[in-house]
Amino acid sequence: MKSAAIFFSSAAVCWSQPIISAVEDAASNIPLKTFGSPPSFANASIAQGSMFVVKGNGLGPASIVVANSYPLQTTLAGTSIQIVVSGTATNAIMYYTQAQQVAAILPSSTPVGAGHISVYYNGQYNSFDIYVVQNNVAMYTVDESGGGDAVITLADNSLVMPNNAPNPGDTVVFLANGLGPVSDDESLPATGGDMTSVPLEVFIGGQPAKVLYRGRNTCCVSLDQINVQIPQNVSTGCVVSVTMRIGTLVSNTTTMPIRSSGRVCTPTNPAISQADVQHLMSQKSLNIGIISLERSIPRSGVDVLTPSFKKVSGLPSLVLDELVDVPAPGSCTVTYNFVGNNWYLKLPNANLDAGSIALSGPTGVIAIPNNGGRFLDPGPYTVTAAGGADIGAFQMVERVPPAFTWNYLNNSTIETFDRTQGITVTWSGANSSSYVTISGYGNDASSTTFFSCTARVSDGSFTVPPLVLQSLPADGTIMGAVEIEAVSIQAPFAAKGLDFGIAWAAEYDASGLGTVVFQ
């Protein structure tokens, strides 16, 4: 369950009606956006017996109050929550409360279906529509955002990290939310027991993993524990995707490190060594430089040079995930962007000064266009930084690879996909040192869901699995797109003031499937 330390400080509370801005799953942070019927975004619902969070203002006292003894109560520091579904009322079991955020357990006895919650504080209340389901699993994450590395432990109860990675065949334990209802007294610590009737599936690096246990953790109330054996045939790396599913409801996507042997993960990015991982894990902040060249296919698109120099702080494992490494082949990740609630991971960072950047290539010095255009052809390019207040001068060479080709299902302007089926793409001609990403999105009026899958060039084809497409919103009118990119990792570069200098060049094609409809 969430630490009290992460929650926002609160302004003084006026004796007025509470304001509810969002109701979210406590583990995934996916906001519930329902209006009296099953949501088009399927996993935006509350599972019986799970913990949920209400955000807003005037919900509770100015300073956070956490329930610190059993049995837990239905009223805490003046805050209570009532749930009404199909005419049946239940009272949530309170975990913590403060003005801007409260957390509570949805009783297992709450009926499934459309309903609403009402948050009461000091005689005032406000309501919000919800949709209750039996099961809707979500994983807790290290930074408590709902994305990035999952909270996972090894057999010795140590936390899984890039320098403490499990091996194929090892058993690991995930902390989760939403496995479903129990018959326990939910105001007391759980009794536990394997919920074998719950058809939970776990996929690690795209491979099905054996579930050894799924049930409540006896340490606490509402907290689920899922014991899983790492698949033997999984692609190893520092960023391996993890997704769970019960029926058609898909969890948030998280990541984890896996090492073939030993405990320090081997990055997929060949420009990073295990020694680099050890160094990264020992730092509180890092200066990172990333130089990327992206060439559009077809040539009607826009070429891009992106130099980025940042001082990044925060959890080292997230720095590795977000900025430095590449997801392991076979991994697919899903991220969300909701109106008013950006779910992307946000690492604290500050821009660094490396001075002016110049580019030259096969045709000589290139005037970098401010508004896009075409200026990259296959071949070597020299990037020169004059040096600035933070980063010293440097010069490095990147090589834009030859164009590749890819094929998709049809060649019509608009494609329609059944989300229960996969999307298969094939490619040829990509540089053998490259990797391929297949990405896309689907959106509706209030959210956009992005997916990205990684494959080896030598694979020649990849199928975006139904598991990923089921994460997209779908009501028959959801528009989106699918594209492919072949990325060539370049040699790392060094400069005074940099901890890591990463360079890559890519060919991308966003014209293939064009506009799509996910149903």
Q: What is the pLDDT of residues 43-81, one digit of tens each?
A: 778 999 999 999 999 999 999 999 999 999 999 999 999
Report whether 240 contacts 234 (CB < 8 A): yes
What is the C-alpha separation between 167 and 256, in angstroms, rounded?
A: 11
Looking at residue 467, what DSSP letter applies?
A: H
Average pLDDT over residues 256-264: 93
* Neighbour-count burial for 36-53, b at 16+ CB within 10 Å, e otherwise: eeebbbbbbbbbbbbbbb
Amino acid at 242: V
Has this prediction a pTM greater than 0.85? yes
Q: Which CATH superfamily is domain 4-133 in?
A: Immunoglobulins (2.60.40.10)
Q: Please, what is the Cα angle at 510 between 504 and 515, to 5 degrees?
A: 150
For the chain, report the end-to-end CA distance as a whole number of angstroms. 35
What are the C-alpha distances in Å from 102 to residues 99, 133, 180, 338?
Answer: 8, 21, 21, 20
Q: Which two tokens stand for residue 99?
A: 């003005």
Residue 507 CA to its chain's centroid (Å) = 25
**Region(s) of the chain under CATH 2.60.40.10:** 4-133, 138-258
| Position 514 confidence tier, pLDDT thresholds 50, 70, 90 | low
Q: What is the pLDDT of residue 406?
A: 80
- Largest pairwise CA distance in the chain: 74
pLDDT score recorded for residue 387 = 95
pLDDT at 410 over 90: no
Higher pLDDT: 419 or 302? It is: 302
DSSP string, 268-283: SSTTS-HHHHHHHHT-
R_g (Cα) of the chain, nearest Å: 24
Per-residue pLDDT at 272: 84
Residue 250 CB-half CA count within 13 A: 23
Lowest mean pLDDT among 182-191, 300-309, 438-447: 438-447
pLDDT (average), residues 8-27: 71
Q: Are 304 and 372 in contact (CB under 8 A)?
A: yes
Distance, C-alpha 127 to centroid of its chain: 29
Query: How many residues are present in the chain?
Result: 519
Tell me which of 367-381, 410-424, 488-502 is least confident. Answer: 410-424
CA distances from residue 172 to 151, 159, 484 in whole angstroms, order as listed: 10, 10, 33
CATH assignment, 138-258? 2.60.40.10
* Phi, psi (deg, nearest 5) at residue 466: -55, -35
Q: Distance between CA 254 and CA 57 in Å, rounded?
A: 30
